[in-house]
């Protein structure tokens, strides 16, 4: 069933009116939320750790940072520090400092869904997850537009949690595009699955396997890099703008025929079975448990694989070719 789409005209902003919002962290999302909320007329403070590297950036935008302890006493507290740091931040500061019936807002459901954080029962616990990077959340707001977002409620101590989640999404600019209701479980599980199957795991393996197939067959690594990696952006941009059917209208007949007849030989029933396995491991918590164990052990697998990946031929070839195209580094 499709999620109902809410937009500005359907959303009552009053549940957040007059409330002080504390944004914890001034990274990509923290910066965007703090500035959007302020520009929407909301009272905002930014909570940063002592000696924070983000303090100057925060001041340059006209916001004087406060301590995390002070920020935690606000009526709405937004968790915009790395997911891996949130558990300790909640335990050491928020759990003790947050006021009864205040709201704790997350931009990703992971720590709540997998019960790494179990918030006090007297708090509202909300999800407002932008469907875009922080930079876009700010840029689109400034342009008078918005990035869509998912909202959800984990805990409703005040009786106002759902209305507050929508109101927050509105003042952050998401109602200009689309606000869709979800659960912490759905947001977390679909996000992890998409990272593993498509956005990170899937695409990286596809690119590397195709590059290796061409170079093993004797083709030039430079040309293999262009065909299998560099041109991904062209296709991704078209998919983003036009969808799959729309993109097929812009490719050659050979590309379209190869797409229908050869694509399913690469991503086939075995790949789908693997995807179902990934999803099962995400849903029953095995992936999260495995990740915790990896981090607790000092991330040995991540460090080993990262080092191996960085010394792969595709990186050497890519670094040399990208250096010839400084325009690639230009911010979008």
Rg (CA), the chain: 22
Burial readout 213-250 (b: 16 or more C-beta within 10 A, e: otherwise): ebbeeeeebeebbeebbbeeeeeeebeeeeeeeebeee
Shortest distance, position 251 Cβ to ligand NAP, whole Å = 30
130: enclosing H helix or E strand: strand 124-130
Q: In the structure encoding, which two tokens stand for residue 170, read together?
A: 């509105």
User: Which lies closer to ligand NAP via its Cβ, residue 88 or residue 320?
Assistant: 88
Shortest distance, position 261 Cβ to ligand NAP, whole Å = 37
Q: Per residue, what are the HEC states of 64-119?
A: CCEEHHHHCCCCEEEECCCHHHHHHHHHHHHHHHCCCCCEEEECCCHHHHCCCCCC
108 is annotated as an active-site residue: yes
User: Which lies closer to ligand NAP via its Cβ, residue 27 or residue 285?
Assistant: 27
Angle CA(245)–CA(249)–CA(255) in degrees, nearest 5? 95
Interatomic CA distance for residues 152 and 46, integer angstroms: 23
User: Which lies closer to ligand NAP via its Cβ, residue 54 or residue 183?
Assistant: 54
User: Which lies closer to ligand NAP via its Cβ, residue 54 or residue 158?
Assistant: 54
Q: Could you list the residues that contact ligand NAP (CB under 6 A)?
A: 25-30, 48-49, 52-54, 80-83, 85, 89, 107-108, 129-130, 133-134
Shortest distance, position 50 Cβ to ligand NAP, whole Å = 9
User: In angstroms, how far apart are the furthest CA atoms of the chain?
Assistant: 67
Of 128, 138, 175, which is closest to residue 5 (Cα–Cα)? 175
Asked if residues 278 and 197 have their Cβ atoms less than 8 Å apart, the reply is yes
Interatomic CA distance for residues 34 and 20, integer angstroms: 11
Asked if residues 250 and 242 have their Cβ atoms less than 8 Å apart, the reply is yes
User: Which lies closer to ligand NAP via its Cβ, residue 83 or residue 186?
Assistant: 83
Shortest distance, position 72 Cβ to ligand NAP, whole Å = 11
Shortest distance, position 89 Cβ to ligand NAP, whole Å = 5
Of 6, 33, 108, 154, the catalytic one is 108
Catalytic residues: 108
């Amino acid at each position: 069933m499709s999620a109902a789409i809410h937009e500005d005209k359907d959303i009552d902003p009053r549940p957040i009116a007059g409330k002080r919002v504390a944004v914890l962290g001034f990274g990509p999302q923290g910066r965007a939320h703090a500035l959007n909320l302020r520009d929407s007329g909301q009272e905002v403070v930014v909570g940063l750790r002592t000696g924070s590297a983000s303090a100057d950036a925060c001041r340059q935008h006209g916001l004087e940072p406060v301590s995390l302890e002070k920020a935690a006493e606000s009526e709405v507290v937004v968790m915009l520090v790395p997911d891996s740091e949130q558990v300790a931040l909640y335990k050491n500061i928020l759990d003790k400092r947050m006021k009864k019936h205040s709201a704790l807002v997350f931009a990703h459901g992971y720590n709540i869904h997998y019960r790494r954080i179990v918030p006090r029962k007297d708090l509202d616990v909300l999800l407002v997850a932008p469907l875009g990077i922080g930079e876009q959340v700010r840029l689109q707001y400034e342009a008078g537009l918005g990035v869509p977002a998912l909202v959800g409620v984990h805990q409703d101590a005040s009786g106002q949690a759902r209305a507050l989640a929508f109101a927050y999404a509105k003042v952050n600019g998401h109602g200009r595009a689309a606000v869709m209701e979800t659960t912490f479980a759905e947001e977390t599980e679909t996000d992890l699955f998409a990272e593993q199957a498509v956005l990170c795991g899937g695409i990286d393996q596809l690119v590397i396997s195709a590059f290796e197939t061409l170079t093993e067959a004797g083709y030039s690594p430079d040309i293999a890099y262009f065909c299998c990696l560099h041109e991904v952006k062209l296709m991704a941009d078209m998919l983003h703008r036009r969808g799959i059917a729309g993109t097929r209208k812009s490719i050659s007949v050979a590309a379209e025929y190869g797409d229908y007849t050869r694509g399913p030989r690469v991503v086939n029933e075995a790949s789908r079975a693997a995807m179902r396995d990934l999803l099962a491991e995400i849903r029953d918590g095995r992936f999260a448990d495995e990740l915790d164990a990896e981090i607790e052990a000092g991330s040995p697998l991540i460090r080993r694989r990262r080092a191996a990946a960085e010394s792969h031929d595709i990186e050497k070839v890519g670094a040399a070719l990208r250096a010839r195209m400084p325009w690639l580094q230009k911010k979008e």
